[in-house]
Amino acid sequence: PETGFDPATAWVVSRDPLDPDNFGKQNVGIYRMEVKGKRKLGLQPVPMHDIALHLHKAEERGEDLPIAITLGNDPIITLMGATPLKYDQSEYEIAGALRESPYPIATAPLTGLDVPWGSEVILEGVIESRKREIEGPFGEFTGHYSGGRNMTVVRIDKVSYRSKPIFESLYLGMPWTEIDYLMGPATCVPLYQQLKAEFPEVQAVNAMYTHGLLAIISTKKRYGGFARAVGLRAMTTPHGLGYVKMVIMVDEDVDPFNLPQVMWALSSKVNPAGDLVQLPNMSVLELDPGSSPAGITDKLIIDATTPVAPDNRGHYSQPVVDLPETKAWAEKLTAMLANRK
């Protein structure tokens, strides 16, 4: 059972304490919170997320970290808050690009932080430096209850709200839920862009499953072992450090969003003797129920691509592919069967 209420769609705004005027380093993200009292919240700053970097810098200086918590936001900023952007990429600027006009923001009256214009409720306060208390358990996006852990403490100093504010919540748990539809596409796109920038051979990234704990990546191959290098890079992207636990690599003619094609690649191209790459004692977010201890796991790359030189394993011949007219035949036969009396 959960120990307290979690405002699931609350977004937390914070700035880099060492570079507070850098708009790009200001972070807008969703983090698990537990209401613990009238002016007190527990907050989980996942170590791989930007807010954890902000908090670490503040605590090194012995300072509290000012934050603003916004509830009832524009859906576009909700999407951006769940998107794993680069550290110096602004969620507001990307939201503006999607809107094709600057994203409207307001100044929070106490902290001076930039908050989404039109939010229903704004809570301002600080994450108290070097203070931890038990937070949780809580039903999480992994489909499991997470345990109670020592987490940061938030002190609320000011509350602002619209007349008759509307409270927005979020349904999450065993997939598929609302949060999977929110986070899935927002995880696929940044991973694809980051990999494509370094490996133009990458064709598509499917990270729809449990916020990318499993990713399926299709790529062309420059040489033997290339697909595995792409898989390793996926695990070391900003998002991959905490989430990409398993990667299935497939050829460029396999659609990673088409699971029958992926299953075909796994069943026909994988030799367990050489196509499984296990990486011990890697980082993952603590909420991964399979990690032991929490936050540490072995990671796995499954290479389901066709070997190319100098990797000459196996005896792969010409793939059996449909003729161009096959689709038309199938549609005609389907129509004939449907019209049978």
Enumerate residues 6+ apart whose C-beta is below 8 A from 23: 90, 92, 93, 114
Return d(Cα 284, Cα 213) in angstroms, integer. Answer: 9
Q: Which residue has the tokens 């919540």?
A: 169
Say which of 59, 124, 135, 140 is annotated catalytic.
140
Residue 133 annotated in active site: no
Return d(Cα 71, Cα 50) in angstroms, integer. Answer: 20
- DSSP H helices, 68-199, are 75-81, 91-99, 178-198
Beta strands in the chain (DSSP E): 11-14, 27-30, 33-37, 40-43, 65-71, 105-107, 114-116, 121-135, 138-139, 145-146, 149-161, 202-209, 214-219, 246-251, 276-283, 296-304
Active site residues: 140
